[in-house]
Every structure is written in structure tokens, then in C-alpha cells.
Structure 1
Amino acid sequence: MSLDWIYYAISWILLRWQSLWSSLGMDGKFLGTNWSWVLAIVFLVVTVRVILFPVFVKQIKSQRAMQALQPKVKALQEKHKGDRETLQKEMMELYKTEKANPLMGCLPMFLQIPVFLGLFHTLRRLNPANTQTTLYGWTTEQFNDATHASLFNAPLASKFGSTAQELAALGANSTTVKVVAGILVLVMMATTYATSRQMILKTGWAEDPQQKMIQRLMLYGIPLSLLVSGSLFPIGVIIYWVTNNGFTLAQQQWVLRKFPPPQMAGKKGSGSSAKPAMSGPAKKSGDAPKNPVQPGRTGGLFGRNKAQAEPEPPVADTKKLAPRPGAKPVNPKKGARPASKPKG
């Protein structure tokens, strides 16, 4: 299957934006950078992301649906433990019944792959020795202008792993290209990691082992793979990737703030119901409350807080109860007897 339609579409968007910025006076070079071409790549990202925004919303809804199904998925895993075939069948039936699609979470990324490949192919053609200058709707003037376009004196068509012959054809300095491309590759890795980490921190790790493996791959595997593959990308493609990551970070932050994900079941317990009503040591089960309120009584300032308690006896005067001088002491074990009066 020919991919020419992708190359034509990407070239058309890129050239329209470049013409717009050139008409606004950005067709020259400043700080070793042709900003009309750099901004054309940046706004190519904006155009694609605006087109894919409805798909991104569906991705968020699918992730919410998958998150809500985690308790049921875990129950199926426990029920069919050791029977992978039955488990897969039951899970597919569950996804069908609940209208959830596990692949929807990766759909926006898959849809951007053709755009990435189209831009990669288009920028790789930018070589002064290339005689096919009018392919995909380009004019010879546009092709020659793009061939010499650069970012801080590093041609957009050059890459970290460019050979000496390729750099000579572009009229580029090897050190300059490696420094600019190397910094961009590191930024590309960092922003790729940040986009995956942002989503996982907000939604939590999946309970399903397959989903969790995909999350780990997105978080660690892809950024590390860019350390090698990034050296093969033209600088213009890396600009596209970094811009796309920045757009994703902002878009995810907006969506997660506007539509916060539901709290995971395993993370509950921080609410008011999980906290004791009163601080202090726990009461024993056999301990009776100090001030139980009886029916018909009211507490507070205008009621009797100790209505159920017996009235406290008055304090006895020890001087009045003391025996008189010369009286015999009373034995408390033998009943109460009146004290005898002294003779005489």
C-alpha cells in the first residue's frame, strides 16, 4: 500500500504554515534559526492534535471505563485462576457488555504514527543532491529553502548519527549538529517519560497484569528506546516529537483537572468514614459510657447532663461524728448501738 497520500497531506499542512509565517516576516534567519520552518513544524503538531482531540476524549472515557471494571476483572482472575483461555473469553465478554475497549487508550498514539512517518520521510528528502524537488506538492524554491533551514545552525534534515558525507552535503558542522541533536534527544526522552508518568500518577496502576505491563512499557521502555532511535531522527522530527509531548502534557493536565479520575478502590480509607469520631485511646467493648443520655432527658446547657446518676451524698462533718470524750468505741461489726453515757 502506497503512503503517498500521507506525504501529500503532511507536506500540504507544513507548507501552508511555512507560507503563513513567511508572510508575517519570519522568512529570514535569526540566531542561526529559520523560524518560519521551525514554527511550521510546531503548528503541524497543533493542527494534528486539534483534529485528534475527539479521539483523545474517547481515550479518557475508555480509561475511566477500564478503571471502573478493575474489581470485576480481578474477580474473574481469581475465579479462573490457571485457566487462561476461559479467563480471556470471560474478559472479552465483560468488555463487550460494558462497552469498554482496552485498545482505545493507545489509539491516539497509533493515529499519530502515520504523521510521524510522513514527516520523517519528508525531511529525509531534504538533500541538495536530490533532483526530485517537486514531489508531494513542493516547489523547487520551497525545497531549496527547506534544505538550508536550520535550528541554531544545525540543519533540520540532519541528525545526531549523520555521516560526514551527509553533513558535507548539508553544509553543516558535525559538532554543532551533535550538540543540538543530543540536547533535543534528551528533552524528547524526558518529556516522553513525563507524559506517561503524569497519567499513571493520576489514574493509578492497573490491576490487570497485561494493562500494568503496558503501563510499565510506556513509562520506562519507550523513553529508553529513544536514546538509540533518537540518533536516527532528523532534528525536524525531534522538534515535532518534543512539541507533541508538550501539547500532550498540557492537554492531559486540563482533562484530568476538569474530569478527575475516580478514586481507586485500593486507595480508599482516607475519607472521614475511615477516621475515628473522637481522638484518644480506644474504649473497651465492656466499658459503659460515662454520660449516657436517658430517654426524655436533654443534655447541654439547659438539661441535666448527669440525669441518670445518683445524687452525690453530702460530705459528712467529721467533728460532729467523732465520739465524745470518755465514750466507749463502737464496734462496726456488731450492729449499731447507742453510745453509753458516762456514769456520774
Structure 2
Amino acid sequence: MSLDWIYYAISWILLTWHSAWDAIGVPVDAVLGTNWSWILAIVFLVVTVRVILFPVFVKQIKSQRAMQALQPKVKELQEKHKGDRETLQKEMMELYRKEKANPLMGCLPMFLQIPVFLGLFHVLRRLDPAKEAKSLYGWTAEQFDSASSAKIFTAPIAGKFGSTADELARLGANGTTVKVIAGILVLVMMGTTYLTSRQMILKTGWAEDPQQRMIQRLMLYGIPLSLLVSGSIFPIGVIIYWVTNNLFTLGQQQWVLRKFPPLVTNKGVTGTKATTPGGRNPVQPAKSGGFLNRNKPAAQVPAKPAAPKVAGPKPGAKPANPKKGPAKRQG
């Protein structure tokens, strides 16, 4: 299957934003060793993609809230089918189907961004002055030459930590500078990737479902560690895209989690209703409106009228015995 349509789409967005910044008057020449019009084009490629994927992000949050609400039932199934993994998985899949919850929805926005990442990776790898097909994917020769010479703090955006001496010579770059800038950006990329996963897990809690917990651990530790190796082959422009995307995610998640906070129990575990020490659920008014809260508030159960208080005997009076009748009058 040809991926040219992705390369054309990524190229069109990059070139459109670059032309927009040129029209606004962003300096074309390097300032502080940086061609800001191309850096901003990459940054706003992230903005464009995230705006397009915002409805998917909303579905991701809704699915995570649904999974949190199901945690007590998941725990019951784990206790019921302890030691029978096959039956447990069948029961859990049936529970997810019945409640219309998808455990993989939490990873969907990330999966949908993979084609964008691959497209940008492919496009930036082409920014080599030795390439003859400079007009590929809608680029003009002038745009190609401008992008191939674009730099961030004197390191070309097409360069990478593992660039060969020949590649660096064609880009007119210093090998030490490229390694320092790329190395710093890789560490920032790892750190921000870790923080985005940690932010969500700290707010929503660790899942009871082993499959969900495994996905959480993979996203929290596995992906950032893998970037330490794979980051050496990423062009600097791709790392800028990744870091910008992480920062965008941190801000978006913080806004959503602050505006629509998950329910927290008295033990600090999210996803279930808070309880008082006596075991009763406190009455909390339901918020209406908002894209994460479309359900009607639950009906309030009217409180039972209190029993009338019976006045006790006055001080010094003899207690009355209800079993005995009224005292006979002495003649």
C-alpha cells in the first residue's frame, strides 16, 4: 500500500504554515542560529493534527472514565475467577461489550498519530542536498533548498544524532553540534513522554484489569526507554515535533482533568464513588453540560420524615409504666 498520500498531506501542511510565517514577517535568515519559520511550521503541524484529532481525544477520555467506573466489577470478576484466566478474559470482554467500554481506546490517539510521525520522518529524511527529486510531494526546488538549510541553534533539522560524516558534510553541519542538540532534544523527548503518561495515571489511578495495567506500565516506562535508542535515528525536526506534541498533550490533559476531575474515593482511588466513614455515599450535585457529562443527574431520594420526639418525665416525677393502667383515685 502506497503512503504517498500521507507524504503529500504532511508536506502541504508544512509548506502552508511556512508560507504563512513568511507572509507574517518571521525572519527567513537564522536568528540565534535558528530558522524560526521552519521551526514554527513543525510546531503548527502539531497544532493542526491535534485540532483534527480533538474529537478522538474526547472519546479517549470518555472511554477512560467508563473503564474507571467498571473497576469494582472487574475486581469482582477477578476474585470470582481467580486462577481461571481464560474464563476471566471472556467475562471481562463480555463486560466491556455490555457496558460499551473499549480498553484500547486509551491508545487510539497515539496510534492515529503514527502515520503523521512516519510521514514527517520520511519527508525530513529527503532534505538532503544530494537528492535530485527536489520537487517530490509538491515541493519546489526553492522550498527544498530552504528547508534543507534550516537549522535550530546551528544544527540542521534534517540532521540526527547518528548522522554519518558524509551526511553532515552535505548539510554543512558540525558533527559535535548536531550530537549535542539532538542528544538534549532526545532527553527532553523521553522526559515529556514519561510525564504525559504519569500525569494521566496519577489522576485516574492504576487499573485493576491486568491487561490495562500492563498497557499503563508500557506507556509509562517502556516507550520512554525505547526512545533512548530509536531517538538516535530521528531527524531533529521529528524530535521537535514529538516534544511539541507531548507539551500539547500535557496542557490538554491538565485542562480536561481540572475541568472534569475523576471521582476520588476516601482511599484516593479514582473511578468509584466517594464514601463517608459510615459507608454512606455523600450527596453531591451532578454537573450538567460539558462534552464529558451528557447524562442526566440521578434522582434524589427523599429523606424519611423524622419520628416525633416524646417528651421525657419531668425531673423528680415518678416514671410512668405504660403496661399499667391509670392509677385509681384514693377515696
User: TM-score surpassing 0.5?
Assistant: yes
Please report how far the alpha carbon of residue 101 of structure 1 lies from its aligned counterpart in structure 2 after TM superposition: 0.5
The aligned counterpart of 1:88 is 89
**Whole-angstrom CA distance in 2 between matches of 1:143 and 1:296:** 94
Q: Which residue pairs with 2:311 in the alignment? A: 296
CA deviations over 1:206-252 (Å, ceiling 9, x no partner): 01111111111111111111111111100000000000000000000
Give the number of equivalent residue pairs: 286
Which stretches in structure 1 are left out of the alignment for 5+ residues?
A: 276-293, 299-303, 311-344
Residue in 2 that maps onto 1:39? 40
The 5 Å alignment of 1:53-202 reads 53-202=54-203
SS in 2 for 1:273: coil
Task: Determine the C-alpha separation between the residues in 1 that align with 2:158 and 2:316.
Answer: 91
What amino acid maps onto 2:147 in structure 1?
A
CA-based RMSD of the aligned residues comes to 2.3
Alpha-carbon distance between aligned partners in 1 of 2:94 and 2:52, rounded to the nearest angstrom: 32
Q: Is 1:263–2:267 an aligned residue pair?
A: no
1:308 CA displacement: 8.6
Q: 8 Å contact 1:204–1:264 — kept in the other structure?
A: no
Alignment partners' CA distance in 1, 2:143 and 2:126: 13
Q: Which has the higher contact order (CA 8 A, sep 6+)?
A: 2
Residue of structure 2 in register with 1:17 after alignment: 17
Q: What percent identity do the matched residue pairs reach? A: 77
Counterpart AA for 1:24: I
Q: CA deviation at 1:74?
A: 1.3
Q: 1:188 to 1:296 in 2, by over 3 A?
A: same
Structure 2 counterpart of 1:283: none
Which letter does structure 1 place at the counterpart of 2:21?
A: W
Displacement, 1:168? 0.6
Secondary structure (helix, strand or coil) at the match of 1:131 reads coil
1:272 to partner: Cα distance:
8.2
* Offset from partner CA, 1:95-154 (integer Å, 9 cap, x none): 111000111010000000000000000000000000010111111110011010000110
* TM-score, length basis structure 1: 0.79
Q: Is residue 206 of structure 1 aligned with residue 221 of structure 2?
A: no
**1:148-206 deviation line (CA, Å, top 9, x unaligned):** 00001100000011111110110100111111111111111110111011000000000
2:266 and 2:276 in contact (8 A); partners too? no
Judged with a 3 Å threshold, the aligned counterparts in structure 2 of structure 1 residues 77 and 49 are, in CA distance, closer, same or farther, namely same
Larger Rg: 1
Residue pair 1:133, 1:139 contacting (<8 A) in 2 also: yes
Aligned AA for 1:296?
A
Which residue identity is paired with 2:111?
Answer: F
For 1:309 and 1:102, locate their aligned partners in 2 and report how far apart those are by CA, in whole Å.
Answer: 71
Q: Distance in 2 between matches of 1:154 and 1:119?
A: 18
Q: How far apart are the structure 1 equivalents of 2:245 and 2:124?
A: 17
- Cα shift at 1:84: 2.1
Question: How far apart, in 2, do the equivalents of 1:142 and 1:127 lie?
Answer: 12
Letter in 1 for 2:54: F
Give the 4+ runs in structure 1 shifted more than 4 A.
Answer: 268-272, 307-310
Deviation (angstroms), 1:64: 0.4
Identify the range of structure 1 (116-125 vs 211-220) with the bigger mean alpha-carbon deviation: 211-220
| CA distance in 1: counterparts of 2:156 and 2:233, whole angstroms | 14
Deviation at 1:62, TM superposition (A): 0.1
Question: What's the counterpart of residue 301 of structure 1?
Answer: none
How many Å separate the matches in 1 of 2:223 and 2:275? 40
Structure 1 distance, partners of 2:146, 2:158, is 12
Shift of 1:32: 0.7
- What stretches of structure 2 of length at least 5 have no aligned partner? 279-308, 319-331
State the secondary structure of the residue aligned to 2:276: helix
Give the whole-Å Cα distance in 1 for the aligned partners of 2:194 and 2:208: 21
Is 2:51 aligned against 1:50?
Answer: yes
Contact in 2 for aligned 1:13/1:44 (Cα 8 Å)? yes
